[in-house]
Structure 1
Amino acid sequence: MSRIAYFGPRGTFTEQAARELAPGDDLMPVETIWAALAAVRKGEADAACVPVENSVEGPVAATLDGLAEEAPLVAVAEALLPVHFTVLARRDADQVRTVASHPHALAQVRHWLERNLPGAEHVVASSTAAAAVAVQRGEYDAAVTAPVAVEHYPLRVLAAGVADVPDARTRFLLLRPPGPLPEPSGADRTSIVAAAANRTGALAELLTELAMRGINLTRLDARPIKGNFGLYRFFIDFEGHVAEPRIGDALAALRRRCNNVRFLGSHRRADEVAPTIGTGAGNEDFVKAVDWVAAVRRGEQA
């Protein structure tokens, strides 16, 4: 049985994702995303489950920075969870004066809170579950939590299925130390982070390498490099698996363009969307092209 560190405490969406990604394994809640990653790097856990992006609030900065710094970790699986919240409280709705939750959660139920708890002050907590713990302790009146929180915290359910954006989703990653990768599935995602040179066209050059090979991007984010004002890292997700010839060819080209490239994983997409591949951009096209060059080098013509 593996030990999985996850962004806790108990009762977060990350716990739900960890249950899906590592069923039957030993789940270990930790206080922060950085702590979850550190547990794997120190050998205290076999893997970490953390959020990486939300369809409403965008990328999770702590996860991106944590993957770019310190010892490498590699994503081997992902989960995509619908984000519908449960509001837990110590008292009736008309007595709620404070509502606590993680900033992303508060942002995703802002309109619901304005309509249903208009006089309540919004208080930021380190996680949705930490907000529930604070309500239990009597620090706040209500908490916006993940549905799984009702299993851990004996509080009153004021509302369930709460979401300003009904189809909001969060993507979570299961991260392990570098090692054997999952086999290609035909519906995969590859992720890298690159610190491009600070000059005109540097990012365009990186993206051109993917475009020239008909590789479709699924995400592009920029994060500042700490201690280097004005310099940025680029987090790039794209369709395909590193085992495929076309993806391997693209990664080699990116490495030539930018020495500071870190591979963050290749794994099956949670939504199981197959890649869009244009004419001349299939794996067999790359194999045939390499074989043709090899034939030319042997002095053969076909």
Structure 2
Amino acid sequence: MSTDAPERRTYSYPGPAGTFTESALAQVPEARGQVWKPVHNVGEALADVAEGTSDAAMIAIENTVEGGVSSAQDALAETPGLRIIGEYLVPVSFVLVAPRGTRLEDVQDVAAHPVAYAQCLAWLGRNVPGHRSVVAGSNVASALGVLDGSLPAQAAIAAPGVADHYDVEVLAENIGDNEHAVTRFVLVTRTVAPAEPTGADKTSLIAELPAERSGALLEMLEQFATRGINLSLIQSRPIGDRMGRYRFVIDADGHIADERMADALMGLKRFSPNVIFLGSYPRADRKIVQYPDRYSDEAFADARDWLRGLLSGEPDA
């Protein structure tokens, strides 16, 4: 009998260690005890998956304060052969950290990623008045830069997890201005068939308009509205080939196996020159999707049966 241990799965994520993304990965039962591979950015994480270097990637896709994460949306649009298989919510809180022995009153310059800095401005104004900001590439890079002296600052804004990985003094906790801030992460694999619908699902896709004309966006949205499908996210991103050309990132409530969603996607495919299906997956909040009875699977099946009867010459009921 073979005693070889099963090969461990690899999960790529924008690192280094100590980021909010690690908190999202920790919510994935299948990822526990596996290889977590920190990479430089979202594009590299998704490339690992597309090339087979990693089995999956965890990336941030949306924040309640900043909205959609444009770098993630663009990378998903431009990297073929990917599927979102799950989403995870992580409450966002920040700490102010510094080298050991530093006191809050010693701080004059604060290193931070611009997004994190914007979410802590009110606290900094009250507690570090007159400070100067120093831009860092990430929440962890701000702390590392202060520790190794590569950033001209006495303290850094970082995720709480940084204290688990680096020798820092935590000068203050929960310094974010919005206590309800949450970041949504998605787990991405290579193309697979969608999991069975749960009733609490979300479908993500990217679509382009067929032409720059009045009413084109409305016509695209009607593919969902006329089938009773709520859109929880719609955001435009430039395609990049010329001015005025945009793609739309869409999150729709429901699963591709639902009759109403399948019908909407077929309508969208007839309308749009380029539709990228990113996946149907369980909602992080597990909230059951509600819709009127006229959009149930049974209603669609009944309508098809009625039409078949008309075409076959059956008498009206």
Q: Fold conserved (TM > 0.5)?
A: yes
Q: Is 1:250 aligned with 2:264?
A: yes
Asked if the contact 1:216–1:276 (Cα under 8 Å) also holds between the matched residues in 2, the reply is no
Distance across 2 between alignment mates of 1:300 and 1:208: 32
**Counterpart of 2:264 in 1: which secondary structure?**
helix
Question: 1:260 matched to which residue of 2?
Answer: 274
**Counterpart of 2:161 in 1: which secondary structure?**
helix
Distance across 1 between alignment mates of 2:196 and 2:167: 43
Question: 2:52 matched to which residue of 1?
Answer: 43
Asked if the contact 2:46–2:79 (Cα under 8 Å) also holds between the matched residues in 1, the reply is no
CA apart distance, 1:260: 0.6
Unmatched tracts of structure 2, length 5 or more: 1-7
Distance across 2 between alignment mates of 1:282 and 1:194: 25
Q: TM-score, normalised by structure 1?
A: 0.96
Question: 1:116 matched to which residue of 2?
Answer: 127
1:128-175 per-residue CA deviation (whole Å, 9 max, x = no partner) reads: 011111122123321211111111111000111222011111100101
1:296 to 301, 310, 315: 310
Question: 2:4 matched to which residue of 1?
Answer: none
Question: 2:5 matched to which residue of 1?
Answer: none
Q: Is 1:32 aligned with 2:41?
A: yes
Distance across 2 between alignment mates of 1:78 and 1:51: 10
1:168-208 per-residue CA deviation (whole Å, 9 max, x = no partner) reads: 11100101111122221111110111111211111111111
2:195 to 157, 182, 185: 182
2:300 to 279, 282, 286: 286
Distance across 2 between alignment mates of 1:3 and 1:235: 27
> One-letter code of the match for 1:35?
E
CA apart distance, 1:298: 3.0
Q: Which runs of 4+ in 1 moved over 6 A?
A: none
Distance across 1 between alignment mates of 2:34 and 2:266: 36
Q: Is 1:54 aligned with 2:63?
A: yes
2:22 to 12, 15, 28: 15
Q: CA RMSD for the aligned pairs?
A: 1.3
Asked if the contact 1:216–1:275 (Cα under 8 Å) also holds between the matched residues in 2, the reply is no
Asked if the contact 2:206–2:250 (Cα under 8 Å) also holds between the matched residues in 1, the reply is yes
1:99-149 per-residue CA deviation (whole Å, 9 max, x = no partner) reads: 122221111111111111123221222210111111221233212111111
Equivalence map 1:72-221=2 (5 Å):
72-90=81-99, 91-138=102-149, 139=151, 140-196=153-209, 197-221=211-235
Distance across 1 between alignment mates of 2:135 and 2:310: 65
Distance across 2 between alignment mates of 1:259 and 1:72: 18
Distance across 2 between alignment mates of 1:258 and 1:57: 28
Distance across 2 between alignment mates of 1:183 and 1:124: 44
Asked if the contact 2:85–2:194 (Cα under 8 Å) also holds between the matched residues in 1, the reply is yes
Asked if the contact 1:136–1:153 (Cα under 8 Å) also holds between the matched residues in 2, the reply is no
Q: Is 1:2 aligned with 2:9?
A: yes
1:15-66 per-residue CA deviation (whole Å, 9 max, x = no partner) reads: 1111213333311111111111111112111111110111011111100100
Q: TM-score, normalised by structure 2?
A: 0.92
CA apart distance, 1:291: 2.3
Which sits farther off after the overlay, 84-93 or 48-57? Answer: 84-93
Q: Would you say how many aligned residue pairs link Structure 1 and Structure 2?
A: 302
> One-letter code of the match for 2:10?
R
**Counterpart of 1:276 in 2: which secondary structure?**
coil
Unmatched tracts of structure 1, length 5 or more: none
> One-letter code of the match for 2:22?
E
Distance across 1 between alignment mates of 2:311 and 2:207: 34
1:275 to 273, 289, 292: 289
**Counterpart of 1:249 in 2: which secondary structure?**
helix
Question: 1:66 matched to which residue of 2?
Answer: 75
**Counterpart of 1:247 in 2: which secondary structure?**
helix
